[in-house]
Amino acid sequence: MDLDRAKTIIADHSDAYTHDKGIGSSRSVCGHLDRDDGRYGNHGQPPFFPWGANDGKVYHAGAGPTDLTFQGIWGNSCGQEFNPDSFCDKHPQYEEFRGHMNHRPPGATWETFPPDA
């Protein structure tokens, strides 16, 4: 599998139970418990729990031992934003977490580590 296909897979929002391809849920590869109302389970967490994918990583080994490629993205693998203030405004039951969650801005990009020379 190539790196681009791997990145597409871990950013996928398809719900494995409902087959919805919408915004992501606790059952999508790019986990978004914060968007899941919990009606089909939420990994033992309450509805809209502020938990999910924090980063994405893919590795690819080439033909030789020095051909290993590692790419990563900070935030959701899909690159969508998580704004803790907006989240707490919409879900006041998690107000106690305000100030303890990181803002994940939209549009994060995949980076290669170490960077290509």
Of the candidates 14, 9, 6, the residue with the CA atom closest to the CA atom of residue 32: 14
pLDDT level of residue 3 (50, 70, 90 thresholds): confident
Q: Is the predicted pLDDT of residue 117 greater than 60, yes or no?
A: no
Rounded-to-integer distance, Cα 56 and Cα 75, Å: 7
**Residue predicted with more confidence, 9 or 42:** 9
Give me 58's structure tokens: 């893919």
pLDDT level of residue 64 (50, 70, 90 thresholds): low
What is residue 115's DSSP assignment?
P
Task: Write out pLDDT tens, residues 89-105.
Answer: 999 999 999 999 999 88
Q: According to the model, what pLDDT value does residue 96 have? A: 96
